[in-house]
Amino acid sequence: MEIAVQWIRTTWTKKSRGGEAAARRNATPVGFVIPSMAPSSAHVVRMYEQNGFEPYDGEEDVRRVDVQLREADGRLRVQPRVEPLFGLPPRPRRPPAVRLAPGQWVRWQLNYRFSSASGMQDWSYWMDTFNIAYGPVDADVFLSEPTVHVDERGPLR
C-alpha cells in the first residue's frame, strides 16, 4: 500500500515570539502539495526565521523521518518519535498511536523549546508537522482537512 509522508519543520528564536514576525510565523502553511518522488521518500519542508519563513523543500528517505510507521491488518500505525529529554515542553503522557485505514490521513503537530548547551544563547524553538496519508492520494491531499488531527503542542513560555 502507498504511504505519503510530509514533514514540515518551522524554526525560530525569541525574535519571532511576538509582533509582525510572530504573525508571519503563525501564518506558515501546515500542508503543501506533494511533488513526484520515489515511493520510499518523504517530502520535507523547512521554514526558518532568518529567511522570513519562506518554505524550502526537498526529499528524505522515509526511514530518516522522526515517525514510526507500521502496516498491520490493513491499517497503518503512525506514532511520531520524541526523545525523553528532547527539549520542552515535557511529554509525560503522549497520545496513543493513530491507526489509519486506506484513504485516511493524519496531521500530527509537536513543538519544542531548546536552550544552548552552555545556557549563554537565546532559546530556540521549532514546530514539527507530520502529514501522513495511507493509500493512493492526490498531490494536494495535505491542503485539505485531515481525517485525524493530533495536536501535541504544549506551552513553551
Above 70 in pLDDT, residue 12?
yes
What is the reported pTM?
0.91
pLDDT at 36 over 70: yes
More confident site: 137 or 39: 137
Residues in the chain: 157
Q: Report whether the peptide linkage leading into residue 89 is cis, meaning its omega lies within 30 degrees of zero.
A: yes
Q: How far is CA 128 from CA 2, 44, 112, 120, in A?
A: 22, 11, 9, 25
Q: Is the pLDDT of residue 33 over 80?
A: yes
Q: Which of 22-31, 36-45, 54-63, 136-145 has the lowest average pLDDT?
A: 22-31
The predicted pLDDT at position 25 comes to 81
Which is nearest to 111 in space by CA: 76, 61, 157?
Answer: 157
State the cell numbers at 42.
Answer: 518523504
**All three cell numbers of 107:** 496531521
pLDDT band for position 107 (cuts 50, 70, 90): very high
First-to-final CA distance of the chain: 42
What's the CA gap between 104 and 41, in Å, rounded? 19
